Structure 1
Amino acid sequence: MYFFAYPGKPDQISEPIETAAKFLNNTAFQVTTWKMLDIAGAFIRNEIIAKINQEEVFVADITRLNFNVTYEVAYAIGKGKPLLLVKNSSIKEAAPFIREVGIFDTIGWKEYTNSEELVKIIQAYIPKPLPISPIINTKVPVFFLDTKHKSDFITRITARIKKARLNFRSFDPNEQPRLSAYDAINHIAQSYGAVIPLLSETNEDYEVHNLRAAFLAGLADGMEKSLCLLQYAESPVPIDYRDFVKIYRVPEDINKYIADFAISMVEAFQDQEEIEEKPDISYLQKFDLGASSAENEMRTLKAYYLPTDEYRNVARGEVQLVVGRKGSGKSAIFLQIRDKERGRGANIVLDLKPDGYQLIKFKELVLQYLQEGTFQHTIMAFWEYILLLELTNKILVTDEKRYLTQSGLFEPYRELEQIYIQEAYTSEGDFTERMSILINNLTTSYKAKYGNSTNVRLSVPEITDLLYKNDIKELRNKVISYLKQKDKVWILFDNIDKGWPSTGLKHEDLIIIRTLIDATRQLQRQVDKERIDLFPVIFLRNDVYELLVAETSDRQKETKVRLDWVDPDLLRELIRLRIISSFGDDNEKFEKLWRNVCVSHYKGEETSQYLIERSLMRPRFLINLINACKSFAINLNHTKIEEDDIEKGFYSFSTDLLTDISYEIRDILPEAEDILYNFINCKVDMSKGELEEIINESISNSLLLEKIIDLLLWYGFIGIKINSHDIKYIYNMNYNMRLLKGLLKKNVNTTGYSINPAFWPALMIN
């Protein structure tokens, strides 16, 4: 009836479980543990999987997380087995911690300290499986588990998935710090298959990543989805699972595995019968807010996108920079503009999303070999070359058939194609992979000419000779000549500030951004002379932009829009459009739609306002918070989000938010990465002296003190308390730090600081 899995180490875990099992077996309960199985000469995995399939209820101990048990828990969920998780609270938790992985805390578990308590937990358990959606997302049928650091191998995997024209969703730990069980189950349930890379022990963060991988792989196997589980070399996959993992050692191995996976996807598409929606699915389960990351909803975003004034300014070609905080909607604008403009055949739309890893590689290459005086000119030349090559590649792909039939395109196309071939710039893979190949070629060219000499000062002709295969002027002229045949040219550049090293932003990183802006502006001026409409738009994080402005002498030349959300009603409209997309009630007001999915009040506050006030006024955070509450409600079979679901969901969200904002602070000021954890169990309200005392617990540098306080205000972690009822956070002051600090000076005698309630649960603040 019950099958019990638990980690083999430490030994203290085994004793109370085996004792409890023996006691229960003398009652009406039948419990089998993995140690009771006859597994001599057999793979333990196979025997355990067979037992999970056979028994009615699966019980797992997660006191110490490991690959095997994590996989087995997910497999049981995928098979629709009722699941009971338990944890021995008397044993010290060890890394990787549950809060870091983030899967199990959204399922929930029961704690025990001895066999007697464990017996009572099992006897009181009412079996119920976690709900799984039966609907396949046919528009985006593949799921990919991304990694925190984008190595060449990971870049190759994503490039080959794109090359196979497999539309995919992904979990990116740079975008979301933790993966919830609800999201993992939904991602796999909605997919025909999943591509899941495992990291070797030499990789940073490999333990947390591989536990996520184990959970996703278990779900995929349990739901009988196609699974491509990839591993570099043999380590560290448990021996029982090595027959199920595809080992690669060179990039060409990846090509073969993804090709085989693509074939299985086509077969799944052909074999899969349309699954009708089950009639017993609740209203709440039908409620789909979409993904909080725009990249994961690019095929569906158009159905519920909220066209703000900032979006319209970009669509009219009036701005060069879109500036916003993480999760404010930059990528959503990127995708909407891209899809809108490339639907018009006479346009060329170049959409570039480089990986931060490649930019770091290029920066290190230039810094290693060249003197500082050469640095800026080299990067400027590099960007110009990249933009021209990518524009050429986009033209050749976009007009591959059109040039044969459209008057005036044949000769210019052939000429452009010929010069592109001479440049030997590969058309394989995506932009990130092409950029990686170009950087490797640049390294080879440098060493062929200058050996291992470092700190070399190159002249302009020498840099040109190093970068370009042929005459850059000829390439530029051919591109401009061809673009005369087009209506509009868009260059959309996102992710330039994504994936910075943990050492934080440096002067050289800002030069990379500044030179990119200058290169697009220069190209725009060149084509403008030929009366060609070219609209470059670069998407930047707000805090990175502020640093850029501080370092730039000729600032404010670029036109920009800021994605600052200050109106709660605008966020309600964003949610309303997503609810409408689920149910089709086009004319219904928010209040009525919201009451169908959530209780009206929580602790005396209207629930939508309560959640909005704890989202830091960012759309992504608000969607994550509502989804967290919804996941607990669905797991508990509630028909709508109840008060206790809000409490549990808010706690889970708060933990993720704390990690997220810590990462954002680290990008700007690495010394203060863990500063938020100084506030654990502290008072909500404090004077400036008390605030400084808390910061000084880990930061002894007095020069950093004011900078850290400014960062805490900037990210909305703390606000300024005017009186007992009036607290101003950065978003209450239109994101204007001068206004916020001016308010502080004007009320110097009565003003204190207050920690944003969004962080209270994570910091254990009452």
Structure 2
Amino acid sequence: MIEVFVAYASGNNFHGEMIRRAAEAASNDGRKLLPWSERDTSGFPISESVEGWIQRADTFIGDISVVNANVTYEIGFAIGLGKPVRLIRSTHLPMKAVKDIGLLDTLGHDEYGMEASLVKVLGKRDQSTPWPDLPKNRDQPLFVLQPNNPTDWSLRITSSVKKIARLRYRNFNPWEISRLDAREAYEKATSSYGVIASWVEGTSEEIIRNNERAAFIFGLARGRGIPARLFAHETTRLPLDLQDQATRWFQFSDIEKAVRSFRDEVADLQHDFVQTHSSKASILELVSCGDPTAENEAAGLGHYFLETEGYQRALNGEANVLVGRKGSGKTAVFLQVRDRTRANKDNIIIDLIPDGYQLVKMKEFILDQLALGARKEVIAAFWEYVLWLEIAYKLLEKDETRAYRDPALLERYQKLETLFQSRVDTGAGDFSERLRRLSERIIERFQKAAPAADTKHMDSSQVLQVVYGRDLHELRETVSDYLRVKGFVFFLLDNLDRFWTPGGFTQDDALIVVGLIESMQEITRKLTRRHLDFRWAIFVRSDVYEFLIRGMADYGKLSVQSLEWSDRDLLKMMFETRVTSGTRVEMPWDDLWARASTSHVGGKPALDFLVDGSLMRPRYLIRLFEIARRRAITFGRERIDESDYFAALKELGWQVIEDLDREIADLVPNSADLLFEVLQTGVGLTAHKFKYIAGKRLPDPKIVDKLLDIMLWNGSLGVVEGPSTKFIFDCGYKRQYLAALITADPDAPLRIHPTLVAALT
């Protein structure tokens, strides 16, 4: 007797009754369909009962007509167990909520209308394409699903993973990539030795997205026997399947304790796991273009990294501000410069990836309590204090063992250690945690130094005294003396575009970045006078730099390097190198590509189709190929065909729309979702028409002009010139050129990028 477990959401009695009747009608002597509601749960925790039912069943059917975390968890659990899984959906219920989540809508499903058609669907053969067995990632063994917005507790989880578990991890960060489909979630979870997710309380669209992802990934891990933690606050109520399985925390020490026990479980699996290689694996299961997020492949990035001019200039200390659009490869350059320079053990490499959330309280205090002149002083003093302390922290961390073996170094080390510990501003933890503590201490000192009404009248000496707590001179001198026995110092700061709050990036946020740049320049002057080699490079989004920072910083004294891509052949070379290096079989590129992919898509070479769809951003190029590859595997194909590429472009299009809409909202207040309105225009769009549409939401004509500039810059719009369309990457990222075309002919047609159009067709 074949048993089929049928999962569906409770809450709609009519729908539930129909499924129960249809399941009974579709059952026969050799095959019985068992809806979850027909099972007896008395005396057992719900989660144990459901998991037991799914384990005992031969196959699984999940109804995804509505978004439901219990069903999503059960689907993940069944897939993790390796059960044949089929999905069904009612055509009487809208698909929008499921599509907005972006998780299960990309999987094949059967549709039904009324009861008769449901009986027919439930009676179909129980078979589905098996999900592949993937090799474990030994270099970065953990996968962390980041919540939609960072919080003190979510940052404490990642800090604990770094400092307590001491394991390298990959992550999905919704601020970097907006969509995570089921196939990618499967790869990230099942290739890991441990999985961490967080359940967030709330009902917003972003929170529901996070919780659906968490339920699915947690289910996958549970089904595969992979150590997993689903963190939730003690007072949060979860869906029944997850209520008793979540790792509860009430205070931060609970999180740290849970991570310690989790570390031991991960270590046990790493020790016991034996990797097997299937001789039946298809070429598509052996091919990979890697992860679109550089942090997730930091350990292996050096094998296929393409050394561009921007990388060489950063490596040699010739470029201080490196700018590029999201997904252009800034973090990849950051990681490679870090790894190459720290190969020399005498060099002091301070690589920091700050999280803007930690500066929110500090920024709010500066804006609310300090006069404009004092704001600039506080920001500059704050950054100089942070930078000197981080140099000291890195020296102490790097020489912790060596100093006590080297008498010549020990005296310097102990002096620096005493000075550092006497300040106790930064404490332990990762940089985000140290930054949070320092911000809070400085705010406390301001509040003690003067009532709120008087902080705006503090003079420069008072401001510096409050920020530093005590004179910074001795710390600077001690650090400088210590550096005489070292190589060069290289400060690398990535993700500076995360400094703003969800409301967008303002002039005040730009002040924080400009203050950082000026502090770097000041430290460079101080150390250069002592004949010490100090280098620094910060990485920031090009649109943020172009529209906000560039006008505020002393542009003439900055060495700025663009990391944008305009050479199609170079981007193709990058792609070929990644695929060749990431494939678990050796063969010439032409043979590999012929076996893995159709040669042409829509009448053009497949590689050109990929480059065209990527908006010249490596992240989108990688993602477009990987979506198509995973889809082909799901349908059991030997190689990627045209339909896979077109479906992948449509799926990527939704992610690009969400990403670009967020980029626009970061720079133009009250412009959220305006991109969607422009997209509805379709053909016939001109600058005049664009300004009319945007002007209904944004009354200031200057803001509308800025919006058009930003949309030209990010590549969502191009200007038709004769028989072709010029996008920003077709003219060397010179937005002045596109602006000149529009000025010369205000009625010149504007074209929406085809990748965005694909999402709507």
Q: How far off its partner does 1:587 sit?
A: 8.7
2:638 aligns with 639
Q: Match for 1:52: what amino acid?
A: I
Q: How far off its partner does 1:681 sit?
A: 4.6
8 Å Cα contact 2:678-2:690 kept in structure 1:
no
1:735 aligns with 2:733: yes
1:414 aligns with 2:414: yes
Structure 1: runs of 5+ lacking an equivalent: none
Q: How far off its partner does 1:450 sit?
A: 2.6
Deviations 1:46-105 (A, max 9, x none): 2222221122221111111121111000001101111111121212457xx222321102
Q: Match for 1:84: what amino acid?
A: R
TM normalised by structure 2 equals: 0.96
**Local SS of the residue matching 2:363:** helix
Q: How far off its partner does 1:241 sit?
A: 2.6
2:437 aligns with 437
8 Å Cα contact 1:159-1:433 kept in structure 2:
yes
Q: How far off its partner does 1:178 sit?
A: 1.3
- Counterpart-to-counterpart distance in 1, 2:368 and 2:40: 59
Which moves more between the two structures, 498-507 or 657-666? 498-507
- Counterpart-to-counterpart distance in 1, 2:588 and 2:662: 39
8 Å Cα contact 2:221-2:228 kept in structure 1:
yes
Percentage of identical aligned residues: 31
Q: Match for 1:671: what amino acid?
A: N
- Counterpart-to-counterpart distance in 2, 1:567 and 1:369: 49
- In the TM superposition, 1:486-505 aligns within 5 A as 486-498=486-498, 500-505=500-505
**Local SS of the residue matching 1:670:** coil
1:594 aligns with 2:593: yes
- Counterpart-to-counterpart distance in 2, 1:549 and 1:156: 31
1:384 aligns with 384
Q: How far off its partner does 1:206 sit?
A: 2.3
2:50 aligns with 48
- Counterpart-to-counterpart distance in 2, 1:501 and 1:680: 27
8 Å Cα contact 1:13-1:88 kept in structure 2:
no
- In the TM superposition, 1:558-573 aligns within 5 A as 558-573=558-573
Q: 1:559 to 1:306 in 2, by over 3 A?
A: same
1:475 aligns with 475
1:5 aligns with 7
8 Å Cα contact 1:502-1:666 kept in structure 2:
no
Q: How far off its partner does 1:204 sit?
A: 8.0
Q: 1:690 to 1:368 in 2, by over 3 A?
A: closer
Deviations 1:343-377 (A, max 9, x none): 21110000111101012221112223222221010
8 Å Cα contact 1:81-1:129 kept in structure 2:
no
Q: Match for 1:260: what amino acid?
A: S
1:84 aligns with 86
8 Å Cα contact 2:22-2:122 kept in structure 1:
no
2:33 aligns with 31
1:753 aligns with 750
- Counterpart-to-counterpart distance in 2, 1:379 and 1:373: 10
Q: 1:124 to 1:405 in 2, by over 3 A?
A: same
1:627 aligns with 2:629: no
- Counterpart-to-counterpart distance in 1, 2:549 and 2:46: 59
Deviations 1:665-707 (A, max 9, x none): 1111132221111145543343334434443454454443322
Deviations 1:588-626 (A, max 9, x none): 45x443222210111212111012111100000111111
Which moves more between the two structures, 116-125 or 563-572? 116-125
Deviations 1:556-613 (A, max 9, x none): 3110110111111111111111122134788945x44322221011121211101211
Q: How far off its partner does 1:137 sit?
A: 0.7
- Counterpart-to-counterpart distance in 2, 1:196 and 1:631: 23
1:226 aligns with 227
- In the TM superposition, 1:249-260 aligns within 5 A as 249-260=250-261
8 Å Cα contact 1:3-1:55 kept in structure 2:
yes
Which moves more between the two structures, 299-308 or 201-210? 201-210
1:554 aligns with 554
- Counterpart-to-counterpart distance in 2, 1:156 and 1:446: 26
1:186 aligns with 187
- Counterpart-to-counterpart distance in 2, 1:587 and 1:308: 26
2:214 aligns with 213
1:166 aligns with 167
- Counterpart-to-counterpart distance in 2, 1:382 and 1:743: 44
Q: Match for 2:50: what amino acid?
A: I
8 Å Cα contact 1:3-1:52 kept in structure 2:
yes
Q: Match for 2:694: what amino acid?
A: I
Structure 2: runs of 5+ lacking an equivalent: none
2:271 aligns with 270
- Counterpart-to-counterpart distance in 1, 2:253 and 2:203: 22
- Counterpart-to-counterpart distance in 1, 2:111 and 2:681: 27
8 Å Cα contact 2:7-2:63 kept in structure 1:
yes
Q: How far off its partner does 1:636 sit?
A: 0.9
- Counterpart-to-counterpart distance in 2, 1:364 and 1:679: 34
Q: Match for 1:338: what amino acid?
A: R
Q: How far off its partner does 1:256 sit?
A: 0.6
Q: Match for 1:403: what amino acid?
A: A
8 Å Cα contact 1:358-1:436 kept in structure 2:
yes
1:350 aligns with 350
**Local SS of the residue matching 2:34:** strand
**Local SS of the residue matching 2:725:** strand
1:75 aligns with 77
- Counterpart-to-counterpart distance in 2, 1:695 and 1:448: 47
- In the TM superposition, 1:61-140 aligns within 5 A as 61-92=63-94, 97-125=97-125, 127-140=127-140
**Local SS of the residue matching 1:760:** helix
2:536 aligns with 536
- Counterpart-to-counterpart distance in 2, 1:697 and 1:13: 42
TM normalised by structure 1 equals: 0.95
- Counterpart-to-counterpart distance in 1, 2:406 and 2:322: 35
Q: 1:13 to 1:203 in 2, by over 3 A?
A: closer
8 Å Cα contact 2:286-2:585 kept in structure 1:
no
1:665 aligns with 664
**Local SS of the residue matching 1:106:** coil
8 Å Cα contact 1:354-1:494 kept in structure 2:
yes
Q: How far off its partner does 1:239 sit?
A: 4.1
- Counterpart-to-counterpart distance in 1, 2:746 and 2:65: 50
**Local SS of the residue matching 2:497:** coil
- Counterpart-to-counterpart distance in 1, 2:687 and 2:461: 56
**Local SS of the residue matching 2:5:** strand
8 Å Cα contact 1:177-1:660 kept in structure 2:
yes
Q: How far off its partner does 1:222 sit?
A: 0.4
8 Å Cα contact 2:142-2:169 kept in structure 1:
yes
**Local SS of the residue matching 1:503:** coil
Q: Match for 1:185: what amino acid?
A: Y
Q: 1:101 to 1:571 in 2, by over 3 A?
A: same
- Counterpart-to-counterpart distance in 1, 2:308 and 2:47: 52
Which moves more between the two structures, 346-355 or 9-18? 9-18
- Counterpart-to-counterpart distance in 1, 2:701 and 2:110: 45
8 Å Cα contact 2:5-2:34 kept in structure 1:
yes
Q: How far off its partner does 1:501 sit?
A: 1.9
Deviations 1:521-545 (A, max 9, x none): 1001100011111101011100111
- Counterpart-to-counterpart distance in 2, 1:653 and 1:412: 54
**Local SS of the residue matching 2:751:** strand
Deviations 1:204-245 (A, max 9, x none): 832221111101100010000111221112313124433211
- Counterpart-to-counterpart distance in 1, 2:500 and 2:122: 47
**Local SS of the residue matching 1:551:** coil
Q: How far off its partner does 1:282 sit?
A: 1.0
Deviations 1:392-437 (A, max 9, x none): 0000011122233457422221211111111113441100001111
8 Å Cα contact 1:77-1:129 kept in structure 2:
no
8 Å Cα contact 1:505-1:667 kept in structure 2:
yes
Q: 1:19 to 1:128 in 2, by over 3 A?
A: same
8 Å Cα contact 2:290-2:579 kept in structure 1:
no
- Size of the aligned set, in residue pairs, is 758
Q: How far off its partner does 1:306 sit?
A: 0.7
1:200 aligns with 2:201: yes
1:521 aligns with 521
**Local SS of the residue matching 1:561:** strand
